[in-house]
Amino acid sequence: MAEVVEGVVAGAPDLGEEKEAVPEEAVEEGADVDRGDSGEEPQPDGKEPDGAESSVYRYIKDDLFTSEIFKVEIQHLPKFTGFNDLKKFLAKHGVNPHKIKLFGRQTFAFVTFKSLEERDKAMKAVHGMLWKGNVLSVRLAKPKADPIQKKRKQQEEAGAGQPASKRSAASEGLEEDEEPLSKQLADVVTPLWNVPYEEQLRRKEQEVEGVLQRLAKEIGNNNKAMLPWLFVQKEKYNRMCCPLEAIRPSPLQTEYRNKCEFLVGRGAKGEDKTVGFRLGKYKGGSCAVVEPSDTVHVPVHTKRVVKAFQEYIRTTPYTVYCPETYEGHWKQLTVRTSRAGEIMAMVYFNPQKLQDPELEKLKSSLGQYFFEGAGKESKVTSLYFVREGQRKSPNLEDLPSEHVAGEKWIHEEMLGLKFQISPHSFFQVNTPAAEVLYSAVGEWAQLGQDSTVLDVCCGTGTIGMSLAKSVKKVIGIELCQEAVEDAKVNARINGLSNIEFRCGKAEDIFPSVLNSIVSRNVTAIVDPPRAGLHSKVILAIRRAEHLKRLVYVACNAKAAMNNFTDLCRAPSNRVKGAPFRPVRAMAVDLFPQTMHCELLILFERVDYSSSADPPKPAEPSKPEPSAD
């Protein structure tokens, strides 16, 4: 199947050509309902389907916004058109899309808009336009089919003529010879659960080797001046751009997660109000939830909280929230724990049309249950309630948390330091393995008493604080206000006066912070979200010639590949400053029983000062979209 490239049009692209992908779970409820890829052909006349097909498009008639209503297909695109190519082209002609979806090397794309006016304006502007020798054509496209309804319709059609018992089993997605639900769930959430740990580490190391081999190719494609150095590196390190040190294992291989998010839904066998993990994704046509009682990565005390919460909600008159109909209330339970035995529970609830007095009564009941009633045995020390209605952002961090009972925070100790953790603050999910990771960062950064450290995407300040006693100054940058407040408290708790924190987007703050630093010994530590750093941050790093060393902590190395490449690409009219090059890399296993791990890469600035003729700026081989 062709690669599907889908992106919400927001923010700025990276420096090289990029194909942005939307996380499968990043669905904006009440903003834009993304029903997954239906794989169906667009309807030429744009009419709504009717008859038997209408049920799979029922969601577009609900009282919720979805840009699928305002969708077009642009045909006859130039070959090899990328996400950013099309985004820039449309912007140049005053077209403001909400989402763009491309299919591999196909010459068409689906584009959605926020209103009928914007869609019609785009159709008039783009239809018949000439782009790179191609005359573009625009037509209305029908929305994606709801995957749940589509699957149900297919099962009904396939079950016609079958005995009633088999039709019933099919409608619930069950097979007569199905494996136990515990094994099905383990295969989804911990796919390596039955693989010996040494073999898990070998597979992850092999995966990282592939990333570094690909990075070697990208550097060669984007910086010809590095080819002699790259040739030597590849010969020495099995086609990789730098040496890869042995993967560092997690001290804990089971029950290691200090934060778990559980959905509330209908059980795989039809049980109502079940709390656990989904067997599949909504996009794949599945909403069935299975309890986490047999999962190996969830701690026992977390499972106790899940069980207690499930027992509580089954006694209430409120129903489970249904993603098909947008009806119901109970949505999610997040549990955070610390090694000191503290437990924070966050309950996500869609209030629908319930009034404040009823919600206050429910919150009071929850608090009484967990701190005085039957749920007391779960030993929750901090309880929060989150009203998750028709939000305008896919980020749960944007939702206010209402403190219900107990302490407002939980506390953790790591590397001899104490940390206060709020409901939405980032903290690595595997504390013992995070200690291994942060110790490695400290070793690699080669810091001294005259060093200034920039801790980008710092969360609660864990990395920066672990280094603060060895350096002159630490400056942390973090988007989440809650995390910044925690970080400031953590600095005071640990008696650290040489560390400060700035709240905001890294791309907005980082350039000015860099310009304000007078020290000539600056090292950056970056630990960004999965999507990586914004291109503005990369540009600022490249311009800051006094920043000689950068330690990049990547939780998704493939997604961060654009960042790696941009750090190393040749100087150009827009990308000022000498490039970096990777000098060592290592994987740290923070996620046993899965294929995920953290990748640590040390980048050092290329020193042209010893060369009589430093390379002149040259345009890179790939286009560089603006960072604005």
CB 553 within 8 A of CB 587: no
CB 295 within 8 A of CB 277: yes
Find tokens 């890869």 and name the residue.
244
Could you give the CA distance from residue 44 to residue 432 in angstroms, rounded to a whole number? 56
Which of 371, 299, 303, 357 has its CA nearest to residue 333? 303
DSSP state letters, 402-467: EEEEE-S-EEEEETTEEEEE-TT----S-HHHHHHHHHHHHHHHT--TT-EEEEET-TTTHHHHHH
User: Is 598 noted as a catalytic residue in this protein?
Assistant: yes
- Beta bridge partners, 330, equal 320, 349
Q: Is 257 left (phi over 0), alpha (psi -120 to 50) or beta?
A: beta
CB 598 within 8 A of CB 553: yes
Q: Can you point out the beta strands (E) in 149-285? A: 244-248, 259-265, 274-278
Phi/psi of residue 17, nearest 5 degrees: -65, 130
Find tokens 């750093």 and name the residue.
533
Which of 180, 307, 250, 275 has its CA nearest to residue 429? 250
Which of 73, 482, 598, 624 is flagged as catalytic? 598
Q: Can you point out the beta strands (E) in 281-414? A: 289-290, 330-337, 343-349, 382-387, 401-406, 410-414
Could you give the CA distance from residue 509 to residue 229 in angstroms, rounded to a whole number? 34
Q: Is 313 left (phi over 0), alpha (psi -120 to 50) or beta?
A: alpha
CA distances from 325 to 33, 229, 321, 353, 613 (A): 12, 58, 9, 15, 66
Could you give the CA distance from residue 141 to residue 119 in angstroms, rounded to a whole number? 11
Containing 74, the helix (H) or strand (E) segment is: strand 71-75
Could you give the CA distance from residue 87 to residue 238 in angstroms, rounded to a whole number? 38
Could you give the CA distance from residue 128 to residue 123 in angstroms, rounded to a whole number? 9
Which of 110, 114, 105 has its CA nearest to residue 139? 110
| List of residues 6+ apart from 500 with CB closer than 8 A | 473, 474, 475, 476
Angle between helices 535-543 and 506-516 (to 10 degrees): 10
Angle between helices 561-568 and 535-543 (to 10 degrees): 30
Which of 458, 555, 568, 597 is flagged as catalytic? 555
User: Is 507 noted as a catalytic residue in this protein?
Assistant: no
CB 167 within 8 A of CB 74: no
Which of 532, 405, 520 has its CA nearest to residue 456? 532
Question: Two tokens at 326?
Answer: 């947008």
**Residues labelled as active-site residues:** 555, 598
